[in-house]
Structure 1
Amino acid sequence: MTRAFPLAGLLRMRGRAEEQAVADLATARRDEARAADLRRATAAALAGAGMPATGDDIAWMAAVASRSTLAALLSERDHQLGRAAETVQDCSEAWSVARRDARALELLEERHVATERAEELHAEQVVLDEVAARGAAPARIGATS
């Protein structure tokens, strides 16, 4: 009978940590894409916000205020996009570490399984050799009599 892998619990825990890291990375990438979309939309709105061709001072001041607000919003969107990119980088690094840790235990488990299998095969061979030796011994005894 094979022995259970002694670090199976830790391997399961590392596997779950890796799954969580993958989920966090996917969320971070989705947030980054959303931030990039918002930035593009704000940049397009700023590019489309022109000055009035005709009008009074109030219309001109409203256009200036609108462009100023959009410029400030674009700056904020740039900052959000930068933070989102940093989060993606952090999550990517966390996933790499989690994957490395899980893979190390997976390799240990593979080695454990191979060792167990080799021990089983050796034990089976010992039994077969003993059976063969017992079967050969009576044949030799009968041949010498």
Structure 2
Amino acid sequence: MTRNFALGGLLRLRRLEEDQAAGGLAAANAGTRESAAREAAARSVLSESTATPGSLGALQGVAAARASSRSMVAELAAVTAERRRRAEEAQQEYSAARKNTLSLEKLAFRHAETEAQLELQAEQIVLDELAGTAWQRGVSHLAEERGR
């Protein structure tokens, strides 16, 4: 009979932590992509502006719109940078969780190998005993036939 892996509960907990860290990393990466896309779109709109003002008032309006757009792009760049920082943190958390899980998985694998080896040894002992008993029966049967 094989023994259960003594650290099985801890391994399940570590796998759960790894899964949560992976989810956090995926969410952080998605946020970074979304933020970078919004920033790129805003920059694209800002660079494509080809307004030619016909009056001083129109020129002032274009200047104000550009200033506002630059401010918005700067805010989006800050948001993108913050999300990248969070994604890096999430990557570090995931790497640490994976490392913890991996070490326990290796222990569990070694345990399973040891248990399988012990099982094979026990089976071999039984087979050896059966073979020895069968051989003894064969020898005694031959001896009886010769004695007749």
| TM-score over 0.5 for the pair | yes
State the TM-score, normalized to the length of structure 1.
Answer: 0.88
The Cα of 1:25 is off from its aligned counterpart by 1.1
In 2, the alpha carbon distance for the partners of 1:88 and 1:124 equals 52
Could you tell me which residue of structure 2 aligns to residue 45 of structure 1?
45
1:98 is matched with 97
| Match of residue 26 from structure 1 | 26
1:15-67, CA deviations, whole angstroms, 9 ceiling, x for partnerless residues?
A: 111111111111111111111111112112222345643113x3222221111
Q: Does the 8 Å CA contact 2:53/2:59 hold for their aligned counterparts?
A: no
Structure 2 residue 7 is matched with structure 1 residue 7: yes
Alignment gaps of 5+ in structure 1: none
- 1:60-114 Cα offsets, whole Å, 9 max, x none, are 2222111111111111111111111111111111111111111111111111111
How many angstroms apart in 1 are the aligned matches of 2:99 and 2:33? 27
Structure-to-structure mapping, 1:101-112, within 5 angstroms: 101-112=100-111
Cα pair distance change 1:30/1:84, threshold 3 Å? same
The runs of 5 or more residues in structure 2 that have no matched partner are none
TM-score for the superposition, normalised by structure 2: 0.86
How much identity, in percent, do the aligned residues show? Answer: 31
What one-letter code is carried by the residue in structure 1 that aligns with 2:134? G
Aligned positions, number? 144
Structure 2 matches for 1:1-145, cutoff 5 A?
Answer: 1-50=1-50, 52-56=52-56, 58-141=57-140, 143=143
* Residues in 1 aligned to 2:26 and 2:5: alpha-carbon distance in whole angstroms: 31
State the SS of the aligned residue for 1:54.
coil
Partner of 1:5: helix, strand, or coil?
Answer: coil
